[in-house]
Amino acid sequence: MQRVNCAIYVRKSTEKGLEQEFNSLHNQEEACKNYILSQAFNGWEYYRTYEDGGVSGGTMKRPSLKRMLLDMKKGLVQTIVVYKVDRLSRSIIDFHNMMKEFEKYNCSFVSITQAFDTSNSMGKLTLNMLLSFAQFEREVSAERIRDKIAATKKKGLWTGGCPPLGYDLSEKRLIPNPKEAEHVRFIFKKYVELKSLIKLRKFLLNTDVRTKKWTSKTGLKKGGMVFSRSMLSRLLRSKVYIGKIENKKDGVSYPGKHQAIVSRDLFNNVQSLLDNNRKNRLETYSRDSFLLSGKIFDEGGKPFKNEKGTKNKVKKYRYYAQKGRYLPAGDFEDITFEVVKDLLNCPLNKILTDGQALDFKQIDFDGLTLRKQADLIRAMISRIIYHDEKLTYFINVDDLSYLRSFGKKDYINVKSDESDARIYLAGDKKNLVVEKDILLASRPSTNQYIGDGKKIITVSGNNTNLIKALSVGWRYGKMFMGKCLMKEKQ
């Protein structure tokens, strides 16, 4: 008799009750094991149990489910046993897609409490009816929760989760935290001064201002991290700081029961600056046209072509010269922006004539819109030669009349920073050559997959990352040694 490996899949939507000695997952598993034993005469044998605790059935992003489907594709599983159909999925589309995979790999599916046979039309109808009710139940529950949240927000109460920086939580009400409130006001005022989220983030890195530190009901400690650009944007956009509770679903704000910690004038000023910056960003070059299109060549003179597509609903843009040699467009263009900024900041009068150097120094690069910056870069760069360990930029200096449309006569860039790139004048004196060392590093996750899974970083950028890693390692090592010493004293 042929052996049939049976995998048991169990799931629970919430984590409530999972700490119990015998919980819902154990109950599902025990019932499925008993059913497998009853089918021993058919060659059924228990293989292993895959469990997802605290994960919704409306999503496919479940670790154990993915592991089970992978084992099925490897031929390790021939039958999948569940307690009820909705344990496997509460989405009709996801379930149909899984059923196609089951058929493709000759894997059968059994629900021990709902007898049906998918080999005939009546069984398929029964299955679809059960799934329809399961999906209906999930959607009704979601609507009920959304309505409750909306009703709570209409009363001006906090609906749960981590309170925003500047407030503590007490009986669903936000209570101002004096020290954190000062930090929030400081962030708002500093943004008005700097007018840039990136500059604001860099400034805050050298301060003690961090995200909200919070301990959940389960004792899990969260927050206390450095601000990212997106975190700062959300903080500056939050109407909670002017005493309102916003319902994101319909975009309506309600008067809150809590006290405002930011003045209305300051908040409106910040919103105006954010809107203007967003408008300027929207004026940037189109990604579909590629910034460096037709500018990049390999060592043999072969041009890199443009390629765009979508993988896992994530758009990807890259340049390629041949199969297996792809350059992620975002990384490449970021380095090009960095090269141009360094070039404008370095002492060019050592290489060019005083008149030529002045044309470069009269450009306020940071003061240009992103579209203008992109136009300047395309006008400056004649071509780029890609090598495995460096990029060679050829900057047009034969006729610098194009620079005057971007420069300001009343502006002089006084910076005179030495660049880490090698800069020299080409033999024909028509181009300025900039050689920038680069590294190809693996991307940290498949969510950032572009090209062949590599990213381009500069050597100086890699050194910065290394210093940060060593700093973090030293800090945590120091904390660990401190805890060990405390234990020894105890």
**What stretches in the chain show pLDDT beneath 50?**
282-288, 442-454, 459, 462-463, 480, 489
- Does residue 199 share a domain with residue 241? yes
- Does residue 318 share a domain with residue 278? no
Q: Is 84 helix (H, G, I), strand (E, B) or coil?
A: coil
| 24-66 confidence digits (pLDDT tens) | 899 999 999 999 999 888 889 999 999 998 888 878 889 899 9
For residue 122, being part of any structural domain is answered with yes
CATH number of the CATH domain containing 137: 3.40.50.1390
pLDDT of 337 reads 87
Beta-sheet strands, E only, within 343-412: 381-386, 390-396
314-322 and 325-328 as β-strands: parallel, antiparallel, unpaired?
antiparallel
Residues 6+ apart with CB under 8 A from 439: 389, 456, 457, 458, 459, 462
Provide φ and ψ at 259, rounded to 5°.
-90, 140
- Could you give the CA distance from residue 33 to residue 23 in angstroms, rounded to a whole number? 16
- Does residue 390 share a domain with residue 313? yes
CA of 250: how far to CAs of 140, 258, 312, in Å? 18, 21, 28
For residue 488, being part of any structural domain is answered with no
CA of 444: how far to CAs of 105, 326, 447, in Å? 32, 17, 9
What's the count of helices (H) and strands (E) in the chain, helices before strands?
A: 13, 19
For residue 135, being part of any structural domain is answered with yes
224: left (phi over 0), alpha (psi -120 to 50) or beta: left
- Does residue 294 share a domain with residue 271? no
Contact status, residue 451 vs residue 326, Cβ threshold 8 Å? yes
- Does residue 176 share a domain with residue 305? no
Instruction: Give the number of domains in the chain.
Output: 3
For residue 486, being part of any structural domain is answered with no
pLDDT of 68 reads 93
Q: Whole domain around residue 110: which residue ranges?
A: 4-146
CATH number of the CATH domain containing 210: 3.90.1750.20
pLDDT of 188 reads 93
For residue 152, being part of any structural domain is answered with no
pLDDT of 323 reads 59
Contact status, residue 301 vs residue 294, Cβ threshold 8 Å? no
For residue 54, being part of any structural domain is answered with yes
- Does residue 241 share a domain with residue 134? no
For residue 480, being part of any structural domain is answered with no
DSSP 177: -
| 249-283 confidence digits (pLDDT tens) | 667 888 888 899 999 999 999 999 888 876 655 44
